[in-house]
Structure 1
Amino acid sequence: MKIDANVARADIKVGTSPYGAHDELGALNALAATSQAKVLERASSSKVYDLSVDYFVGMPSFQGAGDPSYQIFMSHTPDGTVVDNLNGAGEHVNRHVCYSGDVVFMYTHTGTHIDSLNHFGVDGQIYNGFSAKDHLGSRNWTKAGVDVIPPIIARTVLLDIAKLKGVECLEDSYAITVADIEEELERTGLAIEEGNAVFVRTGRMAYWPDGTKTMGNPPGLSLDAARWLTAQGISVIGADQECVEVGPSQHEDNWLPGHGHFLTESGVPMIELLNLEELSADGVSEFCLIAAPIRLKGATGAPIRPLALKLN
């Protein structure tokens, strides 16, 4: 990745939580029970939108960064169980009872997933000043892992920038501006409120699962746009591409400044590789989000299955 040495520095700093020195939730603290109850009261059950992708061998992922591809294989099969008798039930029972089991191996940031606050940091520290020296063991972080993320229930605003621009998909490396966001909110007549989640559609999921079109040089949020969004008090950010922000970086001192701002400075978790195509096709720009990641202790991310319900 080539970064223009003449562009401005991002100057990402480690944010301090207003909720105290032990806080690991950051912006998720804004998901108060009262606001969650309010959005659930408005949710329509007429249609449920599944915003996740399926997992399969050969799916687009981050092998280019040295991470393993998604793999699944059988650890138990009906015929194999008869032969190896690992369960000790004997041939007669094992021929009668069909037993299957499988094993999954993957990078935790594969497919539709959420980044926890320990995913990115600055100078050895993550959000709220937790340090690698004091809080990173031999296997995982002891702070701000994906396991502490609660079930997310939030009013969510879709910023459909591809639709705003009248294109199927934004061009590679298009940097979404504050003006784009303001124009999109004017188009939909919506406002972003404190505690809301915000999802950004670039159109890249129209090409899924073609990795040559869905991964690399993504259109996404500029750092100015990211900072504008967190200033609105959002609880979660998400997009239909692999890193939410524009790539490659527009800043000489940080290769993923959007990650640094959302995760390290602002304590806002990020959901990536969302499938927002059906929402866009149906013209849904405001909805109730219900999502929860797998609780992998201390992990920097995990698969997540977000569901969307239109609001009445």
Structure 2
Amino acid sequence: MSGEIIGANGLRYYDLSNPWGHGIPQWPSSANLEFRTLKFLAKDGIYVQQMEGIMHRSTHMDAPIHVTENTGTLTDFESWRFFGTGVAVSIPKGRWEVITPEDLEAATPRIEPGDIVMINTGSHHNLGDNDDYYAYSPGLYIDAAQWLVDRGVKLVGIDVQALDHPLGTKLIDHGTGPSQPWLMDEYKAQTGCDVMEDFPLWEPSHKTLLLNGVPGIENIGGDLDLVTGKRCTFMAYPWRWPEGDGCVIRVVAIIDPEQKFRIESGE
């Protein structure tokens, strides 16, 4: 089910998560997700499935340990960061474009200290097992990530393949890459520039946000367009997994059109 849900109290609920499960596309070179059915209703009276795979799939968040050794896991984030008011902002970007501090400063509604921020580039419309979503998406890089930290936001979500621009990942010659080396030649042909000079850092947005205590959610989607341009209340909690490096997450936005209810948030 998708679209606006009206609760008995008049609040409007919007699911900003993409589907999760068998057949859902995932980041290139990551392990696949496998399901087995262990119990059937007709035979056993109950239905039970078993899953094997990684948590970095569809709408999910990362922990600092995912990108930097000897750092925090999922449970090291303060719980107050996953609930509160904030904004869903439109920052339309195309192939390989970079979200800048100027884009964030000009976004409406204005991003304020303490906000949860959901960024809509339009990329979630490309979600699928394709290069448009994974290899050619726009994204954050170090300057925009640092702007969000300096602004004092409490959580960030974005509708692209990762917290980092794809050319700041191992798709090119970073980390354990390149897993898609042809992108470096394509970038040179398209821009006339060396991709390693334009994107010299490996996952700097991950490190800038997560190591400063700001959770980051990748692959935001669902009803994102319906709340873009609005101030909302958001909630998105990961599992209580002390060793967790990442976690699938359900992201919900709530709007009170008549302002009858007061939803408190904060530390």
TM-score range, shorter chain: 0.7 to 0.9
From 197, 215, 219, the equivalent of 2:116 is 197
Give how far 1:207 is off: 2.4
Whether 2:255 is the aligned partner of 1:303: answer: no
Of 27, 33, 44, the residue aligned with 1:70 is 33
Amino acid of the structure 2 residue aligned with 1:222? Y
Shift in Å, 1:216: 2.1
**Structure 1 residue aligned with 2:50, among 80, 103, 120?**
103
Where structure 2 has 5 or more consecutive residues not aligned to the other structure, the ranges are: 1-8, 169-197, 260-267
The unaligned stretches of length 5 or more in structure 1 are 1-43, 82-97, 127-143, 163-169
2:73 aligned residue (145, 157, 160):
145
What is aligned with 2:99?
A: 176
Partner Cα separation in structure 2 for residue 282 and residue 159 of structure 1 = 9
Q: Are 1:261 and 2:208 an aligned pair? A: yes
Percent of pairs identical after alignment? 24
1:251 paired to 2:194: no
Partner of 1:291: 236
Give TM-score scaled by structure 1 length: 0.64
In the TM superposition, residue 47 of structure 1 has moved relative to its aligned partner by 1.5
The SS at the match of 1:248 is helix
Residue 221 of structure 2 corresponds to residue 275 of structure 1: yes
- C-alpha separation between the residues in 2 aligned to 1:111 and 1:45? 30
1:54 aligned partner, one-letter code:
P
Post-superposition offset of 1:257: 1.1
Q: Which amino acid aligns with 1:285?
A: K
Q: Is the 8 A contact 2:62 2:245 kept in 1?
A: yes
1:129-150 Cα deviation digits (max 9, x unpaired) = xxxxxxxxxxxxxxx2213442
- CA separation in 2, counterparts of 1:255 and 1:236? 21
Offset of residue 281 of structure 1:
3.9
**RMSD of equivalent CA atoms:** 2.2
Q: Is the 8 A contact 2:160 2:220 kept in 1?
A: yes
- Per-residue CA deviation, residues 249-299 of structure 1 (Å, 9 max, x unaligned), is 2432x32111111112x22111111116x3424554211001111222311
1:161 alignment partner AA: I
Confirm whether residue 55 of structure 1 aligns to residue 3 of structure 2. Answer: no
Q: Does the CA-based 8 Å contact 2:233-2:254 persist in structure 1?
A: yes
Separation in structure 2 between the aligned mates of residue 245 and residue 287 of structure 1, nearest angstrom? 25
Find the aligned partners of 1:288 and 1:191 in 2 and give their Cα distance: 15
Distance 1:243 1:232 in 2: 21
CA–CA distance in structure 2, aligned partners of residues 204 and 72 of structure 1? 28
Q: Deviations over 1:68-94 (max 9, x none)?
A: 21222201123554xxxxxxxxxxxxx
Aligned residue type for 2:14: Y
CA contact (8 A) 1:55 1:70 kept: no
Q: CA deviation digits over 1:215-253, x for unaligned, max 9?
A: 22320123211111110111111101121232202432x
Which of 1 and 2 has greater Rg?
Answer: 1
Q: Alignment length, in residue pairs?
A: 218
Cα distance change on mapping 1:118 and 1:46 into 2, 3 Å: same
* Paired letter, 1:305: R
CA contact (8 A) 1:51 1:275 kept: yes
TM-score by length of 2: 0.74
Letter of the structure 2 residue corresponding to residue 50 of structure 1: D
Closer/same/farther in 2, CA of residues 227 and 180 from structure 1, 3 Å limit? same
* Residue of structure 2 equivalent to 1:239: 158
Q: CA deviation at 1:175?
A: 0.4
The Cα of 1:103 is off from its aligned counterpart by 0.7
The CA distance in 2 between the partners of 1:310 and 1:79, in whole Å, is: 42
Evaluate the alpha carbon distance shift between residue 106 and residue 202 of structure 1 in structure 2; reply closer, same or farther with a 3 A threshold. Answer: same
Return the alpha-carbon distance in structure 1 between the equivalents of residues 167 and 43 of structure 2.
48
User: Would the aligned equivalents of 2:33 and 2:51 in 1 still touch at CA under 8 Å?
Assistant: yes
SS in structure 1 opposite 2:235? strand
Q: In structure 1, give the amino acid aligned to 2:85.
A: R
Q: Is the 8 A contact 1:287 1:309 kept in 2?
A: yes
Instruction: Please give the secondary structure, in 2, of the residue aligned with 1:287.
Output: strand
Deviation sequence 1:95-134 (CA, Å, 0-9, x none): xxx222101122111111111222222xx443xxxxxxxx
3-state DSSP of counterpart to 1:118: helix
